[in-house]
Structure 1
Amino acid sequence: MVLLGSLSGAQAAGGLALAGAQAANAASIATAAGTSAASRAFDREVDVFLKEYWRLVPEMAVAAGQYAAAAQLPAPTEALRQAQLAFAERWIQRLQALPTKLALDAGQRSDLALLDNHLRGLQWSLSELRSDQWNPSEYNVANGFSELLSKEDFAPLPQRLALVERRLQQVPAYYRAALLKLKDPSSMHLRLAIRQSEGALETFRSSIPEAAAKAKLSPARRAYLLKHNEAAQRSLEQFIAELKALDARQTAAGTGRDFRLGRALFEKSFGYEIQASVDADGLYQRALAEKAALHQKMGELALGLWPQLFPDEAVPAERLDLIARVIDKLSERHATPEGFVDEIKAQIPALSAWVTEHDLLTLDPSRPLLVRETPAYMRGVAGASISAPGPLDPKGMTYYNVDPLDKYSPAEAESFLREYNHWALQVLSIHEAVPGHYVQLLYSNKSSSKVKSLFGNGAMIEGWAVYAERMMMESGWGSVNGQPSPEMGLMYAKWNLRVVCNAILDYQTHVLGQGEAEAIQLLQREAFQARTEAKEKWHRSQVSAVQLSSYFAGFSEILALREQLKQAQGPAFQLKAFHENFLSYGSAPVKVVSEAMLKAAGARP
């Protein structure tokens, strides 16, 4: 004790600092241990949640890569809806009551927010939206069978067929329950369901019998499987017949629910699905402003191209007429109907090489992409899409689905090919494949967060694909002899205008109540789309809601984030690092990723 009194002031201060540092270090270790324990507890909760969730919603399990769950096909009964509602309420309360949630790291806190949003969205959908009553296209069993038949790395074919057999036994009850659910369905969704269900028949007529023959099952087992397959096929045929009869009755009586959501439902759906920094009306106003800016830019590009395309003609007085004439002329350069898919296939390696050579992203050559015709049961919504494996299926194949052109008349096929001309088709493959959806979803599946990968945000996913288009154009894709191509510049601007007009169309259809004539005017006159494309997009806007807004919502916010980080980081900003850091967050909403990345960069969100 006396020794302490004999210390000099500097020695005493040093001793106090050492003691303080030791205390702070001990507190830090205790905090880290507490955070680590909280993180492990949260991870365990997520695992329990998913285990229960897969049992209740096995179709989601299949989408995630849990193929054992594909054998389960719960009938869409009222009892199942009530069970799902109870599940959502119970888990909302359970997650809110987590005693450790304040000790979670930032990533897990955002996971918690995503789970809460998903569960509340599920509650709202089951209790207010009630699309189970008016959208019969939700009742389609084909995907689970297709997944089981195609997943060779999951299990040998005889084992997969055992799961198919169990699933087949549940199909008749499934469709009986689906018919009981329907009340005053939308005629647009009725007809979509009929079309897709007729496509699904091929699963029972061809795919399953062919797989049974290929597996070389014993005669008794093969006969048992085919017996249940025939019963499933008959139940689907009966479902289709009932839908057609219902459609005829509603058409004759002039009844049926309006396909439009209306303002209240659209705003709610937008909030749960998009999770943007603006509401639906805010995005609509943003899109209108962007449409005007693109028209200005396209007018300048078209004016520059006019002399070489129309050397002996006067420039049209109206800007929209000028743009339309130049686009129409350029659109003469396109693939043949027979060579359409082959041209897409040839683009993939060229795009991959460009991304690598220009150091935009690290690609994974071990994960191939297969271009295929869209399966019949998936057609009728979009002309091209990506089918990616879930995050729990790390070796699964990714498919670039392309609708065949055989549904079109020669005139319609020509219109379609002009829309997806030499330049536009390249942008389509950038969006769907490299470095768009295909690449983003591979990154997402490698995310350390199960929640962010499994409960992906559509606006982030679509927004990245649109941003990928901008990224490639900025890097010089489509240039000629090292110089920007005005043709590619104009066609890319037209494609970007398509994204903007998707959001405008979505809002004007479901909130403002526009009809076909107004929609076609927007798409053809102001977005310069070919009539076939405009008609397809009008149809898509009728059978979906909010999804068309996701492209512009996600893209505009990713671009804003990039510019904020450029300003914050200055010369230290690296484009490739930005891309890979952004994608490392899985498919989280852009708003969530922005907050995390800006905070890490020391910038204000």
Structure 2
Amino acid sequence: MSLSKLLLATTIAAALGTATPATALAKSSTAKSTAAAKVTVDSKVKSQFDALTKEWYEQSMLLSPINATQQGDHRYDDRIDDLSAAGRNKGLAFSKNLLARLDKLPLNKLSREDQVDALILKNDLRSNIFSSETLQAWAWDPQIYSGIAGSAIYGLMARDYAPIEQRMQSAITRIALIPKILQQARENLDPARVPKTHAETVARQNQGLLDLIDNYITPNMASLNAADQARMNDEVAKLKVAVDEHQKWLDGTLVPNAKGDFRLGAKLYDQKLKFSLNSELSRQEIGRRAEAEMTRVRKDMYSIAQKVLKDRKDLYLGSKPTEAQQQKAIEAALELAYADKPARDDLVPFAKQTLQEATEFVRTHNLMTMPEAPVEIILMPKFQQGFAVAYADSPGPLDKAQKTFYAVSPIPEEWTDTQVDSFLREYNKRMIHLLSIHEAMPGHYLEGAFSAQNPSLIRAVNRSGLFAEGWAVYTEDMMRKAGYLNNDPLFHLMQLKFYLRTISNSILDQGVHVNNWTREQAMDLMTRRAFQQEREAAGKWVRAQLSSTQLPTYFVGVQEQYDMRRAAEKAWGKNFKLKEYHDKVLSYGAPAPRFVRELMLGEPIR
């Protein structure tokens, strides 16, 4: 695949409007916040906390050069993570030592902003300790190693943060180190603990490392002098040998002997969920809320079906349908939206169009301040395919004025016409509008652009997935209520269906990892109760096996976003203005939503 085919889109944005710095956004609202209890800051405690924060950042970047590059800290672009036992133990010892010292600080003597940062840092350190000592994913999840290996090249080459000559020099060194990562994978992974799905997925992704060479390294060889070109060619040749060797191990040893259970079980799941969400909601409460929302949303979808199918005499459209009648009517209404789908080769071009339309809508309706940083649609790199249909890849918070990538996965060439049709029915034109809202405007792209402006280093490096996903889902409903696509009832129907996916994600995740659901149970939830097409549901079944506690972030995050907006509307009364509310929410740097609410409304920091 050539570089020109990989980078498909023209940059959308730059002249989208003038962005307001986060510090100004925080002051822009005329609404009155609830008065917070006064905090007397102890300068000595503040100094100690600042020193711990700096130490944490410096050591974290040193321990993970790949993450440093992703954050926009390029001091270690010629290094790579050490995933050996010695490297892991070094990181574990650091987390334990820093946490012990942080626990001794009286947080009530810090400012409210610093109290939030301290709680975020504590959660991060405890999560690292749990992951290393208890979860031990390094011994059973091969995705860790393929992700590090691929990101080692991709992080250097995807964005123009430095001259190409400088990035290519770093790439030479990193390419020389990638075989060590593959070797560490073979040393650390215990096939008896590796789940079959994980092994098969990574076996398919492995050759994607060489695609990165073809897409990013080969087209830029002319930037190197003759001696460095020779060095690069030598290291690339060694990498090809290492990738082939690793592929033989994956196909001949790991996949045939992968006997691990992908299910975490209740104890591990609940522990990981607490760290992943940093929310006060338990698994049980999440499950109860999700089931209640599933019932409510299906009822709303039936109401829309009554309107768009009013001439269908063969369907019962009364106010009290049976479950079967409700199911049939909603499915019939959805068929109207499914029929309006892009051609196989038009998926990415249509995504570009929807991004432009969403951008113009947000600007003309003055829903929030527009960012200046650009966004670009690309085909998802092969080493990241197989997990999600699309994602937003924001630049590191320390990389200024760099592009956000809205990555869309290509339709697999081996899919049959029936499978392609199933996929495009799910990702029909109205659904792609929603995908662009969620992933780009005003979802992840816009949120990420403003999150990076907050001065807190802790929040920049530890951007909350709960906040990010909750915000993205929130914007889907917000845009629809603002009149996007001229209040089209079928768009409303697809928005509710998309929200059903959010709800079912949280039910699916604990169903799979705690309740031992079979594939049949999972597919029934997704295809019947949540109206997903077979290809989407089949992919989500694989994703639920490959990950855990990430799927609930959408539902829990949006629930906390909705709760926060209702609380702000109540607190600010007639002073509530939607644009100022959005700008203020985005000004806090994307900590967990509960912290945004506490800071914005003056509630106690917990």
SS in 1 for 2:407: strand
* Alpha-carbon distance between aligned partners in 2 of 1:243 and 1:287, rounded to the nearest angstrom: 38
Q: Hey, what does 2:291 align to over in structure 1?
A: 288
- 1:550 pairs with one of 532, 535, 553: 553
Q: Hey, what does 1:270 align to over in structure 2?
A: 273
Paired residues, number: 558
Code of the aligned partner of 1:128: T
Code of the aligned partner of 1:146: Y
**1:393 lines up with 2:399 in the alignment:** yes
What are the superposed Cα offsets for residues 142-192 of structure 1, whole Å, 9 maximum, x if unpaired?
2121221233232x2222222112212222222212101001211111111
Between stretches 299-308 and 48-57, larger displacement belongs to 299-308
Q: Hey, what does 1:521 align to over in structure 2?
A: 524
SS in 2 for 1:395: coil
Q: Hey, what does 1:337 align to over in structure 2?
A: 344
2:112 and 2:605 in contact (8 A); partners too: no
Q: Larger C-alpha radius of gyration, 1 or 2? A: 1
In structure 2, the CA distance between the partners of 1:281 and 1:312, relative to structure 1 (3 Å rule), is closer
* Alpha-carbon distance between aligned partners in 2 of 1:554 and 1:312, rounded to the nearest angstrom: 40
CA apart distance, 1:313: 5.8
Q: Hey, what does 2:597 align to over in structure 1?
A: 594
CA apart distance, 1:499: 0.6
* Alpha-carbon distance between aligned partners in 2 of 1:41 and 1:92, rounded to the nearest angstrom: 13
CA apart distance, 1:576: 1.4
Given the two structures, how large is their TM-score scaled by the length of structure 1? 0.89
Code of the aligned partner of 1:467: Y
**1:93 lines up with 2:100 in the alignment:** yes
Q: Hey, what does 2:156 align to over in structure 1?
A: 148
* Alpha-carbon distance between aligned partners in 1 of 2:234 and 2:468, rounded to the nearest angstrom: 42
Q: Hey, what does 2:451 align to over in structure 1?
A: 444
Gaps in structure 1 of 5+ consecutive residues: 1-30
* Alpha-carbon distance between aligned partners in 2 of 1:329 and 1:205, rounded to the nearest angstrom: 42
* Alpha-carbon distance between aligned partners in 2 of 1:398 and 1:36, rounded to the nearest angstrom: 38
Q: Hey, what does 1:228 align to over in structure 2?
A: 235
What are the superposed Cα offsets for residues 445-504 of structure 1, whole Å, 9 maximum, x if unpaired?
00121111210111111000000111101111122xxxx332122111111111101111
What are the superposed Cα offsets for residues 542-590 of structure 1, whole Å, 9 maximum, x if unpaired?
1111111000000011101111111122111111121111111112001
Code of the aligned partner of 2:400: P
CA apart distance, 1:398: 0.7
* Alpha-carbon distance between aligned partners in 1 of 2:63 and 2:389, rounded to the nearest angstrom: 32
2:374 and 2:401 in contact (8 A); partners too: no
* Alpha-carbon distance between aligned partners in 2 of 1:486 and 1:74, rounded to the nearest angstrom: 50
SS in 1 for 2:551: helix
Code of the aligned partner of 2:256: R
Q: Hey, what does 1:492 align to over in structure 2?
A: 495
2:160 and 2:402 in contact (8 A); partners too: no
**1:203 lines up with 2:209 in the alignment:** no
- 2:435 pairs with one of 428, 448, 467: 428
In structure 2, the CA distance between the partners of 1:291 and 1:514, relative to structure 1 (3 Å rule), is same
* Alpha-carbon distance between aligned partners in 2 of 1:220 and 1:210, rounded to the nearest angstrom: 17
Q: Hey, what does 2:171 align to over in structure 1?
A: 164
SS in 2 for 1:307: coil
1:508 and 1:514 in contact (8 A); partners too: yes
SS in 1 for 2:392: strand
**1:581 lines up with 2:584 in the alignment:** yes
**1:62 lines up with 2:62 in the alignment:** no
Code of the aligned partner of 1:491: M
What are the superposed Cα offsets for residues 77-117 of structure 1, whole Å, 9 maximum, x if unpaired?
11111111101101101222347x44311011110111010
Identity among equivalent positions (%) equals 28
In structure 2, the CA distance between the partners of 1:312 and 1:53, relative to structure 1 (3 Å rule), is closer
**1:188 lines up with 2:191 in the alignment:** no
Structure 2 counterparts to residues 410-429 of structure 1, below 5 A: 410-429=417-436
Q: Hey, what does 2:508 align to over in structure 1?
A: 505
* Alpha-carbon distance between aligned partners in 2 of 1:243 and 1:68, rounded to the nearest angstrom: 33
Q: Hey, what does 2:180 align to over in structure 1?
A: 173
* Alpha-carbon distance between aligned partners in 2 of 1:521 and 1:349, rounded to the nearest angstrom: 36
2:453 and 2:589 in contact (8 A); partners too: yes
* Alpha-carbon distance between aligned partners in 1 of 2:417 and 2:588, rounded to the nearest angstrom: 45
Cα RMSD after superposing both structures:
2.0
* Alpha-carbon distance between aligned partners in 2 of 1:107 and 1:267, rounded to the nearest angstrom: 28
Q: Hey, what does 1:362 align to over in structure 2?
A: 369
Which structure features the higher share of helix residues? 1
Tell me which of the two structures has the higher relative contact order, counting C-alpha pairs closer than 8 angstroms and 6 or more residues apart: 2
2:337 and 2:430 in contact (8 A); partners too: no
**1:453 lines up with 2:456 in the alignment:** no
- 1:379 pairs with one of 385, 393, 401: 385
* Alpha-carbon distance between aligned partners in 1 of 2:430 and 2:228, rounded to the nearest angstrom: 53
Structure 2 counterparts to residues 46-85 of structure 1, below 5 A: 46-85=53-92
Gaps in structure 2 of 5+ consecutive residues: 1-38
Between stretches 496-505 and 231-240, larger displacement belongs to 231-240
What are the superposed Cα offsets for residues 192-229 of structure 1, whole Å, 9 maximum, x if unpaired?
111222212212355323322x31x3322211221112
1:67 and 1:148 in contact (8 A); partners too: no
Between stretches 172-181 and 406-415, larger displacement belongs to 406-415
1:424 and 1:491 in contact (8 A); partners too: yes
What are the superposed Cα offsets for residues 214-261 of structure 1, whole Å, 9 maximum, x if unpaired?
31x3322211221112112211221121011124532xxxx6111111
Code of the aligned partner of 2:373: R
* Alpha-carbon distance between aligned partners in 1 of 2:464 and 2:452, rounded to the nearest angstrom: 13
* Alpha-carbon distance between aligned partners in 2 of 1:536 and 1:88, rounded to the nearest angstrom: 36
Q: Hey, what does 1:326 align to over in structure 2?
A: 333
What are the superposed Cα offsets for residues 118-153 of structure 1, whole Å, 9 maximum, x if unpaired?
000000000011111111111021212122123323
CA apart distance, 1:352: 1.5
* Alpha-carbon distance between aligned partners in 1 of 2:315 and 2:590, rounded to the nearest angstrom: 50
Q: Hey, what does 1:107 align to over in structure 2?
A: 113
Between stretches 42-51 and 344-353, larger displacement belongs to 42-51
Given the two structures, how large is their TM-score scaled by the length of structure 2? 0.88
**1:118 lines up with 2:124 in the alignment:** yes
Code of the aligned partner of 1:594: R
Code of the aligned partner of 1:385: Y
* Alpha-carbon distance between aligned partners in 1 of 2:198 and 2:137, rounded to the nearest angstrom: 10
1:372 and 1:401 in contact (8 A); partners too: yes
1:68 and 1:163 in contact (8 A); partners too: no
CA apart distance, 1:38: 4.6
* Alpha-carbon distance between aligned partners in 1 of 2:164 and 2:337, rounded to the nearest angstrom: 49
Q: Hey, what does 1:26 align to over in structure 2?
A: none
Code of the aligned partner of 1:437: H
1:391 and 1:445 in contact (8 A); partners too: yes
Q: Hey, what does 1:537 align to over in structure 2?
A: 540
